[in-house]
Amino acid sequence: MPRKIEVVDYNPEWASRFDLEKRSLQQLLGSLAIRIEHIGSTSVPGLCAKPVLDIAIEVTDLPVLDSKREQFVKLGYLPKGENGIEGRRYFQKGEDQRSHHIHAFLSGNEHLLNHLAFKAYLIAHPDIALQYGDVKKNAASHCDHDSRVYMAMKNTFIQTQLELARLWYKTQTDK
């Protein structure tokens, strides 16, 4: 049975759930983690989302992170390696009813910067976030619970906005 793809209204509890998870991850990673950020749609106040928390972890050393595989398993995470994105370490929690995704990258990784830029851009541009919400709802209602179709239906919007987000984010971080 495929995973159910459902986009729900924003839930303010997502922020506190992230804070709780962040504490566990900080305890596990210590100084290996430069930062642990709530990313993705659940991190944008008011934005509808699939109810899965996305977490970005910026680390100093991927091999050291890889050595903590069993500790992640003890926290309920399934390590998935790069899972299609070079330089990433990806972890899932919750099996078919996923509750958390971790995307870990070395400091300076372009994919990490994309996540951070897109989140900040959506928060700073609520009109764009609303448009994105409409795209997500439409994709969820027409994808027949196929994650590849869901992602493909969002891709054009994301790529267009990501380019703008990166330009905008650079102006914000250069200040």
Confirm if 55 and 75 have CB atoms less than 8 A apart.
Answer: no
pTM of the model: 0.94
**What domains sit in the chain, N to C, each tagged with a CATH number?**
13-169 (3.30.460.10)
Confirm if 91 and 58 have CB atoms less than 8 A apart.
Answer: no
* Closest residue by Cα to residue 115 from 32, 58, 30, 50: 58
- pLDDT (tens digit, 0 to 9) for every residue of the chain, 175 residues total? 557 899 999 999 999 999 999 999 999 999 999 999 999 999 999 999 999 999 999 999 999 999 999 999 999 999 999 999 999 999 999 987 889 999 999 999 999 999 999 999 999 999 999 999 999 999 999 999 999 999 999 999 999 999 999 999 999 988 6
